Amino acid sequence: MSPIRTRIGAVVVSAVAAAGVLAPAQAATAEPAAPAAPASQTAAQAQAMGVKIDLASATIGITSRIYDIAVAAIERSQNRSGYVKSLMEGAFYDAGQTYNVMVVKADHPYSYDLDNIVYDATVHASGYPAFRVLVFDSGVFTNEGDGGWINWAFRGVFDRDGMTVHFREF
């Protein structure tokens, strides 16, 4: 990752964290899964060729989208389940629809073993509990508490067995 992209990512994350909306728990430092596509190709063309999106761009895009969702939810006084679904959808689409996404209430009991976490942030929005947003390749996530849209939401390629979700790589 170039120093400019690293600095831009740090500035965006710092600005959002300073606003009190996100507190990133881990920086996305993984390398793309395949060589980068030529600049003349669109993201969709690159994805069709099996190239994962640039993680620096994805991190900035996801952070920006999650911030927008949190602000909009506060302004609309959106219900909690709608807020959780919005966080999930925003992270999924801004990660290029090529990663699995898990959103879970931050203080909820859960365990996980996830591979290649490319985004991990805790979202704090006024009027809502804190939620953790995870974007990753594959793995297992077990909800050890209550279910329902008010406590967790997930999207991607998975099999669910009760409160345990087995995610597969796209």
One pLDDT digit (tens) per residue for the chain, 170 residues = 433 333 333 333 333 333 333 333 333 333 333 333 333 334 444 344 443 444 455 566 787 777 777 777 776 667 899 889 989 999 999 899 999 999 999 999 999 999 999 999 998 888 889 999 999 999 999 999 999 999 999 999 999 999 999 999 99
- pTM assigned to the model: 0.63
Integer Cα distance of 14 and 37 in angstroms: 29
Interior CA angle at 151 toward 10 and 153, to 5°? 70
Total structural domains in the chain? 1
Query: Which residues span the domain enclosing 111?
Result: 3-167
